[in-house]
Amino acid sequence: MSKTVSYKNFIKRPYDIGYIGSDKKFRSKFLNNLKNKILKKNKILIINSNRSLKKYNSTKSYLKKLSQCKFYFCTRASVFENYSTNFFNIDLKEGRYANRVSEAIICGSIPLYWQTKFNNSLLGLIQKKIFFSRKKIVPTSWGMKGNTASYPYDNMHIKLKKGIEVVKDVDDAIIKINKYNSKYINEKLNYGLKIYNNYISPKAFYNFIEKKIK
Q: What is the pLDDT of residue 209?
A: 83
Q: What is the pLDDT of residue 22?
A: 83
Q: What is the pLDDT of residue 173?
A: 96
Q: What is the pLDDT of residue 34?
A: 95
Q: How far apart are CA 110 and CA 148, in angstroms?
A: 16
Pairing of strands 81-82, 92-93: antiparallel
Which helix (H) or strand (E) segment is 74 a member of? strand 69-74
Q: What is 7-213's CATH topology?
A: Rossmann fold (3.40.50)
Residues lower than pLDDT 70 in the chain: 1-3, 50-54, 82-89, 120-125, 133-137, 214
pTM of structure: 0.85
String of DSSP letters for 140-163: TTTT--B-TT--SSSS--GGGGGG
Q: What is the pLDDT of residue 51?
A: 62
SS (H, E, C) 86-133: CCCCCCEECCCCCCHHHHHHHCCCEEEECCECCCCCHHHHHHHHHHCC
Q: What is the pLDDT of residue 88?
A: 67
Q: What is the pLDDT of residue 141?
A: 75
Residue range 46-96, pLDDT digits in tens = 988 766 666 777 888 888 999 999 999 999 888 777 666 666 667 777 777
